Structure 1
Amino acid sequence: MASPFQVQKIATLTGHRDCVYTVEGAAQAHQFFSSGADGMVALWDLTQPDTAQLVAKVSSSVYALKYLTSQNWLLIGHNQNSLEVLDLEQKAIHKTIPLPAAASIFDIQVNVELSLAYVGLSNGSLVVIDLEKLEVTASLLLSEKSVRSIAVHPEGKELALGLSDHRILILDAQTLAVKQTLESHTNSVFTVVYSPNGEYLISGSRDAHLKVWQVRQNYQEHASIIAHLFTINHITFHPNGRLFATCSMDKSIKIWDAETFKLLKVIDKARHAGHGTSVNKLFWSGHWNQLVSCSDDRSISVWALTLKEL
C-alpha cells in the first residue's frame, strides 16, 4: 500500500558541537529545546529555524529535558548527580536539586495532577521530586540496571518504567507500589509511551521490537512488531493522537497508524536526506504538524508531513 504522506525536510539545524540526545517542547507550539553531549541547552523557533538561543550550559552530557508550562521552568537532567531547574523568565538556574546517587539521568516525566516529577537514573533508581518544594520525596532502587524511560498515564494514576533489565514496571503514581511487571522484550527497554487516549502503552527496545499493551485489559500484549533493524530509541505521538513516530539507531524514522499499528512511512537518508547516524529523539510539534528529530550526527532535522492530494 502506498503511503498517504509526502515528507519534506524543511530545515537542518546545526550549532551543537556533539551528539544531540534530546528535544523537548517549549511554551509555544513553534518552539522547542535541544541538548546533548556538549551540555548546551538551546531554544529554537520553527518560524525562524536558522537561529537558536542558548539558554543554559552545563558541565556534562544532557540526556533529558522537561518543560514545565505553569512555572515556565526547564528541568535539565545532566550527569553531575543533580537536576537543574532553569527559570526561563529570569534566564537563571532557580535551584539545583541534589540526587541521592551518582548516576546519569535518562528520563524526566511530570505528573501534573500530583505536582511531581519522576526521574529515571542509570543506577536503576526512580527518584520522585515535589515540584512545589523542589525536594526529593522518594528514591526507589528498582533494578540493578538503568531506568531508561518513564511514561505517565494521561489520567495520572499510573506510570510505566522501561528498564535495561528488559522489564517494564507499572507503578501506582502515588504510592509507587509495583502493580505489574511486563516481561516480553529480550533487551533493554529504551522508550515507553501511553497513547493520548490512555488505551495503549507502547514500548520500544534494543531488541528492535515495538510492543503494544492494552492498558484496560490488564496490560495484555496486543501486538509485537519487528519495527526497526536496531535499537528503537524513542516513540512520540502526533498531537491529535492518530499517528505515532519511532526513531532508531538504524538512522531511520518511521510513521505508524495509532489504531491499526500499520507502518505508513519510512524517513531515511536514501529517500529523504535523513540523518547519517543514530536518531535519538523526536518531538512532534503542533506547529504545522512538523516533526523534529535529533541525532548523533550533531544535527536536528525538521520534517513536514502532508497528506497527498487524492
Structure 2
Amino acid sequence: MRSRDAANGVARRLALSGAAVSMLVAVAACASPVPTDGADSVPPPELVAPNDDERQLDPVAGDLVVSLARQLGRGRALHAAVHGDLIVVATTLGLVAGSPSDGYAEISATTNGETRNVQIAPDEQTALQLSADRLEVWRLGPGQDGLPPGPTAMFDDVVAAAYGSDSNVIVAGRRSLQFVASDGTVIDQFDIEQDRVVLAAAIADDSVVAALSSPDGPLALDWQRGQDPLVTPIDLPAQTEISAIRPVGESVVAMSWTSADDSFIGSIGMWDLRDREFRWTVDSGTPDSPWDVAADGSAFVAANGELRIVDPDGSESSVRLSSSQRVRWLLASASGESSRVRVVYAEGSSEVLGQTGESIAQLDGLGLPITAISHASDGSVLTVDLYGSIERRTPDGEIVDRFDDFVAATVNDVAISRTGSIASASANGTVRVDDSAARTTRLEHPEGNVDTVGFSDDGDRLVSGVGQRRSALAYDDTVVIWNVDRDERVASTVAEAEDVNGCSFFRNVVRFAPGGSFIVATSHDFTVTVLDAQTADTVHVLPPQASGILDLDIAADGSILVTVADDGVLRVWDLESYELVASHRVPDGGARNVAVLPGADVAIVGDLLGRVQRIDLRTGEMSAPFEGEKLRTAEIAVSPDGKLIAAGTADSLVNIWSVADGRLVASANGHQGAVQTAAFGDDGQTLVTGSQDGTTIVWRLEAR
C-alpha cells in the first residue's frame, strides 16, 4: 500500500494535462475545462451543442452566444472509496481522486445515473464506478504504458463488479461473467446460457456467486477464474425472484427472495451448492427488509422493530432495536473474532450491535439520512449522508475520519453584487460568498435551510431568509442581515415558529429595496414585513393574504411591491403608502414566480405549469405563453435593461428569452441537476445560476 505517497502521486498526476483533457473529451464527451478562479472550482461538465469555440454553445435561436466562465463548488458526494490516504469520490459532477491534504483532481466529468458502488484497485492505479447498470473503469494516473488518467473499460448491463486481489476487475453481467485486466483486456469469461439471466451477484475472494433465472427454476452459481463454474438448481418455485445474494465460505451462499405466489412474503436462506440444500430459511417479513451476513455465516435481518439474528446452524434470536424509525441499511462487519452489524435508520442515526445483539455504540450522526454505506479496504465502514459528508468509522463505531470537502446541497437562490461578489443560498443552512478576487467565505445559518439571498446596492450588506419547517404548520422565517467584509451578522429577526392554519408550504423570500433603506420579507403567517435594513426592526406589516405567499419582487425604482400567492392572485402594493393598488387573478391556478420589469408597468410571471408570460400590472392583461418552459419552482431573472429574462429547467438547462416577443433565444447546459435560480449582473452580460447539483455557474452572454 502506497498510503500518503500514493495520494500525493495521484494529486500530482491528476493535474489533467492537455493530453488528459483531450482523452476525456474523446471518450467521455465532455468539453475542455474552463480556467476557474478559487480552490473550490472544478472544470465544468459538458456544454450543449459546442461550436468551434469549445467554451461556447450555440443558442437555440441564434441571438446570443453563451459561455461558461466559472463554476463554483465541487458537487455533492454520492459514493466514496478509501484506500490508505487515497480517496475516490463519485459526485454529482463526476469522479474525483486525491486527498484532503493534497487536493483533488477530476477523473471523469460525467455522471451516469445514481452511483451505487465505487472501488479503488489494490495497486491504486485504477478505480471503478458502477452506476445503474453501467460499469466504468478509470485509470488514476500514468502506469507503465505512460498513458494519462482516463477511461480503460466500460461495460453495460452489469449486476455487480469488484476488484480481485491482483487488481483485475471481476464483472458479473446479465449474460456473462468476466475477469478483466486493468487495461480492459478480458482474461477469462463465462457466458450464461441463452435461456438464463443473472438476477443477483456478489464478488468476494476472487470468485463470483450469482443467482440465475431459468425455465426450470432459479439456479445458484459459484465461479472462480480458470475453473468450471459450480451450478446447482435451488429448491424454490420456478417463478421465484431472487433479489440479493452473498457469499458465505466455500460454495455456500446466503440469498433473499420473494414468494412466487401473491403473498409477497420475503425470505432469506443459506444455500449449500455442493449439498444442494438449504441449511436454514427464515421469513423476513416484507420483501425489502434490510439484511446482511457476516463472514462467519451469521445473518442479520431487520423487521418489525427487531433485529433477528440467525446463527450459521439456523438457530434464531432477536433483540428490540433502540429506535422505532424504519431501518434503511444493515452492514455486517468483522471486529476481531466477533461480528458487528451497523443498523442505519431512515433519519440518519445508527447503532452498532454485537453478534448476540448487545449494544456496542449509539451514533447520532448529523441528523441527515445516510444515502450510501460500504466497507473501506481496511474493513472500516464508510457512509455518505444526504449533503455529501463522508464518514469513516471502525466496525465498533469509533470515528476514524470525516471528509466534508464534497458537502453540497441544492442552491435555492443566487445573487450578484455590483462589485462582482456572488452569493449562493443552500438548503444545508449556508450562504457561500465568492468575491471578485476568488476568495470564498461561508455564512452559517444554524436555524436551517436558506431560501433566498440578496445584496444591498453597495454590496457591503447581504440579507438571507431562512425557511426551515419546525412543525406541520410552522416554519422558522428568520431574516439575517450580514456585513459581508467582516463575515458577521449585523442584525436578525427573531422568528416565531407558530402553527398557522393552512400553512403547509413556505418559502422565505427577502429582497433589498433599491437604495438599501429597507428590506421586504415574506412570513409563514401570509404577511409581508418591511424591515429596517440596518437594524432588522419592523417598519410595517402588510395585511395577511388569503394563503401562503409564493414570491415577491420590488420594482427597480422602488415604487411598488408585487406578490403572488397560493390563492392564484397577483397583488400590487404601493411602497410609500403600503396600500394595495391592484390585484389580478392569474389563470390556471396562479403564478409561482414573479419578476417586475423596468418601468414598473409590466411583470413576468411563471405559472404552476412552468409557463412564462408577461402581465400588465395595471390591467391584468396577459401575453401568450413564451416559447418553451421553465422548472415550475425556478426563479425568474430579468436583465438590467429589461430585454431578456432567464430561468432554469428540470433537465439542467438555463433558458433565456426575449421579453419583447417571448422567443427562446438561448439555452445553455452546464449543470447536472435541475436549475433552481438565476440572477443577472449589472453589466447585463453576466448570468449566475444555481442548481440542485449543489453548484453555481457564472455565464457570459454576448450578441452574435
Q: TM-score, normalised by structure 1?
A: 0.72
Where does structure 2 lack aligned partners over 5 or more consecutive residues? 1-44, 48-54, 76-407, 468-475, 499-505, 663-704
Note closer, same or farther for the CA distance 1:263–1:116 as it changes in structure 2 (3 Å cut): same
Name the counterpart of 1:79.
427
Relative to structure 2, which stretch is displaced further, 103-112 or 52-61?
A: 52-61
Tell me the matched-pair count: 257
In structure 2, C-alpha distance between the alignment counterparts of 1:141 and 1:288, rounded to whole Å? 36
Note closer, same or farther for the CA distance 1:305–1:126 as it changes in structure 2 (3 Å cut): closer
Name the counterpart of 1:121.
466
Equivalence map 1:101-140=2 (5 Å): 101=447, 103-112=448-457, 115-122=460-467, 123-140=476-493
Q: Alpha-carbon deviations, 1:168-213, whole Å to 9, x = none?
A: 1111222222122223422221212222222211111222211111
Equivalence map 1:69-218=2 (5 Å): 69-70=418-419, 72-90=420-438, 93-101=439-447, 103-112=448-457, 115-122=460-467, 123-144=476-497, 146=506, 148-217=508-577
Q: Which amino acid counterpart does residue 110 of structure 1 have in structure 2? A: F
In structure 1, C-alpha distance between the alignment counterparts of 2:564 and 2:557, rounded to whole Å? 19
Name the counterpart of 2:629.
274
Identity %, equivalent residues: 12
Is structure 2 residue 618 aligned with structure 1 residue 248?
no
Note closer, same or farther for the CA distance 1:177–1:286 as it changes in structure 2 (3 Å cut): closer
Where does structure 1 lack aligned partners over 5 or more consecutive residues? 1-39
Q: Secondary structure at the match of 2:576?
A: helix
In structure 2, C-alpha distance between the alignment counterparts of 1:263 and 1:188, rounded to whole Å? 24
Match of 1:294 among 644, 648, 669: 648
In the TM superposition, residue 247 of structure 1 has moved relative to its aligned partner by 1.1
On the 8 A contact 1:164/1:190 being kept in 2, the answer is no
Is structure 2 residue 591 aligned with structure 1 residue 235?
no
Q: Which has the larger strand fraction?
A: 1
In the TM superposition, residue 287 of structure 1 has moved relative to its aligned partner by 7.0
Name the counterpart of 1:304.
658
In the TM superposition, residue 250 of structure 1 has moved relative to its aligned partner by 2.5
Q: Which amino acid counterpart does residue 629 of structure 2 have in structure 1? A: G
In structure 2, C-alpha distance between the alignment counterparts of 1:141 and 1:126, rounded to whole Å? 8
On the 8 A contact 1:254/1:263 being kept in 2, the answer is no
On the 8 A contact 1:204/1:232 being kept in 2, the answer is yes
On the 8 A contact 1:200/1:214 being kept in 2, the answer is yes
Name the counterpart of 1:21.
none
Q: Which amino acid counterpart does residue 281 of structure 1 have in structure 2? A: E
Q: CA-atom RMSD, angstroms?
A: 3.0
Q: Which amino acid counterpart does residue 64 of structure 1 have in structure 2? A: D
Note closer, same or farther for the CA distance 1:74–1:300 as it changes in structure 2 (3 Å cut): same
In structure 2, C-alpha distance between the alignment counterparts of 1:44 and 1:281, rounded to whole Å? 24
Bigger relative contact order, structure 1 or 2 (CA pairs below 8 A, ≥6 apart): 1
Note closer, same or farther for the CA distance 1:118–1:147 as it changes in structure 2 (3 Å cut): farther
In the TM superposition, residue 225 of structure 1 has moved relative to its aligned partner by 1.4
Note closer, same or farther for the CA distance 1:44–1:206 as it changes in structure 2 (3 Å cut): farther
On the 8 A contact 1:239/1:285 being kept in 2, the answer is no
In structure 2, C-alpha distance between the alignment counterparts of 1:301 and 1:147, rounded to whole Å? 23
The structure having more radius of gyration, on CA atoms, is 2
Relative to structure 2, which stretch is displaced further, 79-88 or 55-64?
A: 79-88
On the 8 A contact 1:129/1:135 being kept in 2, the answer is yes
Q: Alpha-carbon deviations, 1:128-173, whole Å to 9, x = none?
A: 1102212122232334275521122223222211123211111122
